[in-house]
Each structure stands twice: as structure tokens, then as C-alpha cells.
Chain A
Amino acid sequence: MKTLIKNANIFQKGKLIKGEILIERKKIAKIGGIIPINADKIIDAKNACVFPGFIDLHSHLRDPGQTYKEDIVTGTLAAAHGGFTTVCAMPNTEPVTDNIASVEYIQLRAEEHGSAKVYVIGAITKQSAGEEIAEMATMKAGGIVAVSDDGKCVQNARIMLSCMKYASNFGIPVIIHPEDYSLAGKGQIHSGKVATKLGFSGIPGLAEEVIIARDIMLAESAGAQLHIAHISTERSIELVKNAKDKGLPVTCEVTPHHLVLNEEANLSFNTNTKMKPPLRSEKDRLACIQALKEGIIDCIATDHSPHADFEKEREFDLAPFGIIGLETAFPVLYKNLVQTGQIDLNRLIEALTIAPAKILNLPGGILAEGKTADLTIIDLEKETLFSAENILSKSKNTPWLNQWFPGRIMCTICDGKITYLDSENG
């Protein structure tokens, strides 16, 4: 089976160059220029751009246990619809993915029914309860790419130190969701102007910062590789910068929503502006953009967190935290950061592809001969509407519902197979 992509603007080495791509046996057989060949299938890119398939280090696929919110089939369909070919599944499923059997379930489901490659992240502690080390070495042998108690945070420093030592023993990166429970309390939104005005308990930046400071020190002492999930404040960035300047193996990610929205979005009482960490101040948001530009923030991750309508459609402080992100990530960032000139397209693509791949040592993230054919075709001129009908995720909890964005994903190919094809792209 030979597939030829014609009339493409291929993204290679930071440039968009007109050409064709030949896909054969899951791999890119040839790339660039005109490829004279009798292909079995021809995809006309119609001058749209071809990027490496996006890689998400942070998705909640909710499978097993909460499949009314999302499952592996719909979660990976949403990924493909957003241009992603690889997603890392967070372990806060029900039951928690803290053992090899649970890891294998996700891998098997994804292999058989998925529209994207799924790498599993195992729990740090059993049931993510923050007390006993999970069987991470066994899970590592079974293919997990990192450990995390995401959604929760190991509060006890002695236990965290022990987990980090154990993880480093087996070469497993540790991903943290930095949140000090005593400081976060019953907070609903960022502790700032808007929380004061609306009378909500606040989640101060400090709740994130003290754990980042602590875990950088613990990781240094344990010799562990540390990745900080969804960084959101200026001071957190400063802590990561200091760690990097020291040469420590510390990386971090930022979500699209922390790059695009600030606490003011909460003024509407829209529960789709409620997530952890909360939307921060404008100063924090600008610091995130700057740090992404400078590379202090390594990559972008979606923190795709589906919740059903009936859970989100209620009183603000009774609604769960989190929004979906796989389908909205690229269009939202392209419109708000690239079109406004705050980030160039190269850096955005890098932060969605090769940068996350490097952090967890995943394949992909690059378009070149001999590489796996993971790619996405995006028409930057065409717009896309995030309506409940168009969103392929089971859940529709996004603050950008019913809004139009440029950067329509026309086609996504994973392992040489079409995983998403826009209806306008016969």
C-alpha cells in the first residue's frame, strides 16, 4: 500500500516547503519534491500544511471507570481530530492505573480500537493515595513511559523522596501535579482579584510553587528526572529556570488555556473556566508565554480532562475541575499566539511535537525519510467550529464552545493510517 500526499506545504527543519510525501509500510518512504509514482491512494493536501503528528504528554482518557466522560476510542478520536498522533494517558482512572494489568488493558484497547498511539503513565503511589510506592518497575517493564499521581499530589515529603529514588533506580521519569493541599484548601479559582470580587476561596500560586521548590530539591537529592505538569505561575517558572541553570534534569509543560486565558474568564461563572491549576493573573499568563518562547517551558500539553454536561452544568463550586483540550489545542494557540505574533509557528509546532517527544523519549515528532508516518494536515486559512456536534470527545466541556478558530485539521495519519479525515476533504 502506497499513499501519496500531494500539494503539501511540508514542515521540515522549521520551514514550510512545497512538496509531496510518500508513505509505505507505516513509514515515510520519501519526502519532498515531486514524487513520480503510481500510488494506491492519493491525498490532495490542497496546499495545506503538513506537520509532524502532535504529541500530548497529558491526557485523561477516563478509561477504565469513567467511560461516560470519555473512553479510549473517543479520546483517541478526539486526539486525531486535534492533529495528535500520540497521547500519554494519565493514571487517575477507576481503578487507578497502578499495576501491570491495568497498564496492559489500556495498551490493548488502544492498539485494537485507538485512533492514536497511547503511552501509559503509571501511578507513583498505590491508588495514588500518596502512601506506598506503586509497582513502577514492573509497569516500566510493561511499557509505561513515566509515573505520576496527576490530579493528586504526594503531600508527604519523605514518601515523595523515596518514590523519586525508586523511580530513578529504574530510569522512570516522575511527573508531578504540584499542589500543596493545605494552601489550596477548598479553593475554586486563582487567589487574586477575581476570587476576592466573586467571593470564592482562592488557590494561591504558592500552593503550586512550594511543591515545585520541594520536588526540585527532592529530585536533585534522589537523582530523579522530574517533569512538572501544567505550570502556571511566574514564580514557578523562576524555580524551573534556576533548576535548569544548575543543570538538573527538570522539564515542564504548559497548557493552552494557561497561555490564552486569565482569571478574568471566571467572572462569567462559566464552569468551563474552572480547572486545576486555576487560570492565573495576566502577569502569570504573560510569563508563561515568555518562558515558552525562551524554552524554560519545554512543551505544551493539553491536560485533556473530559467531564459530562450534568457534572459541569451546575453551581460553580460544585462542578468538577478540568476542560477538554485535544481538539482545541492547535486552533486556539494558532489564533491567540501565532496570529498575534507572540509565538512563531516553529516554536508552537516544536512545543507540540519534538519537545514533548524528547522529554519522555518517545518516537515521532519529526518528518523525515524512514521515520514513522505520523503527521497531520492543517489548513491555516480554513476555520473550524468547536460545536457540540463537531467535537468528537464524549464531553464538550470547553470554554471555546461554539467559537470559530482558524487552523482546521483536514487529515491526520498515524502509523501510515488515516485516523481523521475532514468531511470537506473527500
Chain B
Amino acid sequence: MTSKPQFTGRSLFDLDDYSREEIMFILEAAKGMKEINLREYKKIPTLRGKTVCTLFVENSTRTRMSFELAANRLSADVVSFQSSISSLQKGESLQDTVYTLNAMGIDLYCIRHSSPGSPQLVNKYSGKPVINGGDGRHSHPTQALLDIFSIWEKLGDLKNLKITIVGDILNSRVVRSNLIGMGKLGAKVTVCGPKTLMPSNMESIYDCRVEFDLPRALKDADVVMGLRMQLERMTEGLFPSLEEYSKHYVLSKETLKYAKKNALIMHPGPMNRGVEILPEIADSNHSIIVEQVANGVAVRMALMFLILGGKV
């Protein structure tokens, strides 16, 4: 490993492609960005003249805003392309869409798409760096980085920290990216949820622990992360009712007794209060759920800054 990792022009498809050192470097950079976000005038001229495109082929207001705010604060120009108002739905292919956007001089793409692997396609068609803002159930590396940043900021080094993630593991790209990133930093991760919402081969792919029983999963956890439970899973025949799900898997004062006393509470949002998490936990002193959102902007600023080779 060289002393200073190189990020210029690189894409972020998933954390697979980034070493421990590189992840730490991003976290350090994000720390600096967070300070900027706390200033009265939250803007630096570092990416003036660069153009960032948010290409969202799946609805998400929050993540898109976070990316756009990050680009704005670095003084980049931002254009936004959304599928709901675009030609993608009229049948223009992703390839043609990217060719069109590229002709307008985009320097960096931030993409969300329901198809795994589409960030790689955007990179292939554009020849420009791409930050993956979520591709299907595959990965969501900026969310993982902001989660890791949030833990690191509170607890320091992640090595040997016990982190438990609870909920719909099957459909979660957040879990998949977090398992890669947290694993690289040496954390011990347990995933927990009903068997119908747990994909196969988890242990052999990610070196994590799989638990179907919540109290056992939470035992001695330093960090507990809840995941959104969606009603659609019920109609897909994966669980009988939100009530029964909640009875067995809700994060509450009662169930968190099993975790460490001051365990950090996290959730990538949006939350279903009363289903996967009770307000008594979501709003407790140990909850950093709201801070995660703020950290998201800082982490995305750091990535854009590093990838576009911004000058300090």
C-alpha cells in the first residue's frame, strides 16, 4: 500500500474494490467535510466547473437530495435525471440515455437503479467515474460508508465491535454493502431476521453470523441496526402480518436488554415506527439515526472530492 491512496477517476460500485486503508482515508476526508457542513456558509469552491449528474432510475428523494447537496456544497454544477419524468420509461435504453447525458459534459454520475450491475454499465457507456447510489438488492456503498463513519465517530476503531443488523436481510442492499465494509474493518457482524427473509450462504460469503432468534442475535452487541420492513413482503408470502413480525423482531427496550447497555442504535431510514423499531428506542439517547443522515452528506462530499480530484 502506498502512503496516499489514489481515488481520482475511480468509480465506487461496491466496497469490494476498496481496501481497509482506502476506506479509512475516505472516513478521514468525510470528517473534514462534516466540519464544513456545520459552518454558517456551507460551501467551498473546490469542484467549481465540474458537473455531477444524479441519474435515478428508481425513486428516492432522500438519497438524491443527499448527493445533490453534497455536490452543491463543493460548488459543482448538478443536473438531475429521474426515470419518472424521463424518456427511460418511453423505452429509450440506458445506453442511449447515458450517451445523451455524456454529450452534455458530465464529469461524475451518481446512479440509483433497480437492476444490479447498472452502475458498471453507466461507467462502461460514459467512460466517467460512477458512484453507486443503490443498485437493486445488490449494493449501496455510500450508505455503508456513512454507517461506518457514524460508528467510527462514536466508538472509534471498528475492530472486534459486535454489530447486529435486524430485519429484511433478503431485500437489503444496505446489509450487503455493510457486511463487506464492516468486515474489512474487523467488526463482528450478526444478521438476524426470519428465515424467509434470509438469503442463502450468508456465512460463507461474508464471514458473518446468522441468527433467527432476536435475543440471541442481540447478545452483547455494541451496535444495533434496524432495517425497514415493507408491507409488500407480506403479500409475497414471506411473513404473515406486521404484528407477528413485530412480536418477534422489534427493537424495543425489552429486547435491547440483551445488547450492551449503551449500544448505538441505527437505522438507514425510512423507519416504520412500531414495526421494526419502537419510538422509545428510535428516539433514545443512544440513537444516532438522525445523525446518520447528516453524515451521509459529508461522506458523499468526501467521495466526490476525492474522485474528481478536488483541490483543497
Contacts and interface: CB of A to CB of B under 8 A. Distances in A.
Contact of B200 (A191, A198, A313): A191
B202 interface: yes
Interface in B72-117: 93-95, 113-117
Contact of A199 (B93, B94, B116, B121): B116
A193 B205 contact: yes
A318 B116 contact: no
Given A269-B117, A315-B115, A199 B173 contact: yes
B183 to A, nearest CB: 13
A199 B202 CA distance: 12
A314 interface: yes
A317 interface: yes
Interface string A177-214: 00000000000000111011111101000000000000
Interface string A306-323: 000010011111100000
A330 B139 CA distance: 38
Contact of B118 (A192, A195, A200, A315): A315
A198 B135 CA distance: 9
Nearest to B118: A315
Interface in B44-63: none
A269 B121 CA distance: 9
Contacts of A314: 93-95, 121
A263 B269 CA distance: 33
B200 A196 contact: yes
Given A313-B95, A315-B94, A317-B136, A196 B117 contact: no
Q: Which of A192, A197, A200, A310 has the most CB of B within 10 A?
A: A197
B116 A198 contact: yes
Given A198-B116, A310-B93, A193 B137 contact: no
A2 to B, nearest CB: 54
Contacts of B137: 199-200
A64 B204 CA distance: 47
Interface string B160-185: 00000000000001001000000000
A315 B117 contact: yes
Contacts of B205: 193, 196-197
A269 B135 CA distance: 12
B139 A199 contact: yes
A197 B176 contact: yes
B235 interface: no
A200 B136 contact: yes
B116 A269 contact: yes
B201 interface: yes
A321 to B, nearest CB: 15
A139 to B, nearest CB: 37
Contacts of B95: 313-314
Chain B CB within 10 A, most for which of A191, A310, A315: A315
Contacts of A198: 116-117, 138
B199 interface: yes
A374 to B, nearest CB: 42
Nearest to A193: B201
Contacts of B136: 199-200, 317
A202 B199 CA distance: 10
14 contacts: A192-B200, A193-B201, A199-B173, A199-B176, A202-B200, A269-B116, A269-B120, A314-B93, A315-B94, A315-B113, A315-B115, A315-B117, A315-B121, A316-B117
Interface of A: 191-193, 195-200, 202, 269, 310, 313-318
Given A313-B93, A315-B113, 7 more contacts: A193-B205, A195-B199, A269-B120, A310-B93, A313-B95, A317-B114, A317-B116
